[in-house]
Amino acid sequence: MKDQFSGFYRPSAADFERLWTKGHFSFDANVLLALYRYTADTRVDFLKVIEAIASRLWIPHQAAMEFHRNRAETIMGQQRMFTDVRKIINVNFKTLSDQISNLNLTKRHSLIRPAEFLKTVESANAAFEAELEALEKAQLTIRSEDPMLNELTSLLSGVVGLPFTQQELDGIYREGAIRYEHKTPPGFEDAKEKKGAYEYADRTYERAFGDLILWRQLLRWAKEHHIKELIFVTNDDKRDWWQTVESPTGPQVIGPRPELAAELRALAGVELFYMYPADRFLDQARTALKIDVRSSSVDQVRDVQEFVRSNCPTMYPDSNVYITFHGTTSSRFHDASFNVGETITFRAASLGYDYGCGVHTFSWDFGDGSHATNQSPSHAYAADGTYKVTLHLANPTQSVDLTTSVRVGTGASVRSEG
């Protein structure tokens, strides 16, 4: 029975040994692009592993093309971080300075004098900005010499496959439409997300079928070269690559979709097939290939994967994500007292953080028993008081709680009702 349904069975210990000692390896574009997001030490460790398996490595033409098409944007993403950090530290210092100034402590308090504190913070900001400037000069740019590209070009010389002809691509698009309708992996989840097409080398590539093109290239290569053992490394975590089941703690990945192993066996004669995300591949390589890889490198590869999958940076409460609100009269902002019954518009605001990076949930508690679940809700209070407003904000990998206070009428009492 196992021979007929091998894709549903996890490889045995002997199978894994055979995969790592005899198998061939293939990488997706996202694994190669992630190298630009690693520290120097992590890159050294990952490239060390690639070099160790270079004689058993093959890259589909589609993966190599997507790597080159997305390389510049990946580098630019690293450069943009410098601008985002500068905005955050500069705006936060101005906000801190303004808010302390608004307290007018020299007239209202006999002891508190924040001038030295503000000088210390300003000096620290200046020192950090100088450090950022030095780091930015060392940062790879899209116009500078790219040692990473040079090393990858050398390592992958002669192991990148050939493209399909336009006639072959057109056939894949027709086949893909049927496969996607039947939810046959891989690639069917891209049908709803990736639209349009692009041209390269006198061929038209439809974006929705990128994964299927890669898969068909992998099948053709495995068949032509009589590959019996194959490991595919990808950071794509969609369910059209991985068999996933729901559990009380959330989705659990079992392994590669069994249909993939079955198709490889039926059409290319591959007897053993397995897939790894980059962090597990690097971790397993330490033991299987007896290569010295730092634990910190595995940890960073995992952290980068989680960031890229969510495509969301870290949220820092009251720094890059915060609450703003105003009343129907434009002059009434945070420190003003709002009228009973006045409509107050709240907003989950941001600085250097893009709420479009992934799915977010907004759970507002206005402190009077009322709630809302959108990014910018409006609310009116029915009685005087100072209300504690709480926002529980979550993206695919992180959640934070933001709070603020709203004075209504006299603001005589603090209210926070569930």
Which of 172-186, 305-319, 366-380 has the highest average model confidence (pLDDT)?
172-186
Per-residue pLDDT tens digits for 45-62: 999 999 999 999 999 999
| Bridge partners for 395 per DSSP | none
Q: Which residues, in sequence order, are CB contacts of 246 under 8 Å at separation 6+? A: 252
In the predicted structure, residue 319 carries a pLDDT above the cut 60: yes
pLDDT of residue 415: 46
Once rounded to an integer, what is the mean pLDDT over residues 237-252?
A: 87
pLDDT higher for 390 or 195? 390
If 0-12 CB within 10 Å is exposed, 13-18 middle and 19+ buried, where does residue 108 land? Answer: exposed
| 8 A C-beta contact, residue 261 and residue 59 | no
Alpha carbon distance 162, 59 (integer Å): 10
pLDDT of residue 336: 66
H/E stretch holding 365 reads strand 361-365
Topology of domain 321-415 in CATH is Immunoglobulin-like (2.60.40)
Three-class DSSP category at 58: coil
> In the chain, what's the furthest Cα-to-Cα distance?
86
Residues of the chain with CATH 2.60.40.10: 321-415
| Bridge partners for 103 per DSSP | none
Task: State the helix-helix crossing angle for 278-288 and 13-22, rounded to 10 degrees.
Answer: 90
- CA 66-48-37 angle, to 5 degrees, is 45
Q: Is the pTM of this model over 0.85?
A: no
pLDDT of residue 361: 84
How many Å separate Cα 40 from the centre of its chain? 20
Alpha carbon distance 67, 264 (integer Å): 24
In the predicted structure, residue 309 carries a pLDDT above the cut 70: no
Residue whose pair of structure tokens reads 């061929």 in the numeric block: 203
Average pLDDT in the chain? 90
Alpha carbon distance 101, 106 (integer Å): 9
Alpha carbon distance 229, 393 (integer Å): 45
What are the Cα distances from residue 347, in Å, to 197, 311, 338?
Answer: 37, 22, 16
Per-residue pLDDT tens digits for 103-135: 888 888 888 899 999 999 999 999 999 999 999
Q: What ranges in 182-313 are assigned the alpha helix state H?
A: 210-224, 258-268, 278-288, 295-310
User: In this structure, what DSSP letter does residue 59 have?
Assistant: B
77 band by pLDDT with thresholds 50, 70 and 90:
confident
In the predicted structure, residue 81 carries a pLDDT above the cut 50: yes
Per-residue pLDDT tens digits for 182-204: 999 999 998 877 888 999 999 99
Tokens of 31: 């694994």
Alpha carbon distance 300, 311 (integer Å): 16
pLDDT of residue 315: 82
pLDDT of residue 248: 82
In the predicted structure, residue 373 carries a pLDDT above the cut 90: no
Which of 74-88, 270-284, 390-404 has the highest average model confidence (pLDDT)?
270-284
Tokens of 21: 């000692």
Per-residue pLDDT tens digits for 129-187: 999 999 999 899 988 999 999 999 999 999 999 999 999 999 999 999 999 999 999 99
pLDDT of residue 334: 53
Tokens of 98: 């303004």
Kindly report which listed range (8-17, 27-36, 104-113, 165-174) carries the lowest average pLDDT score: 104-113
pLDDT of residue 123: 93
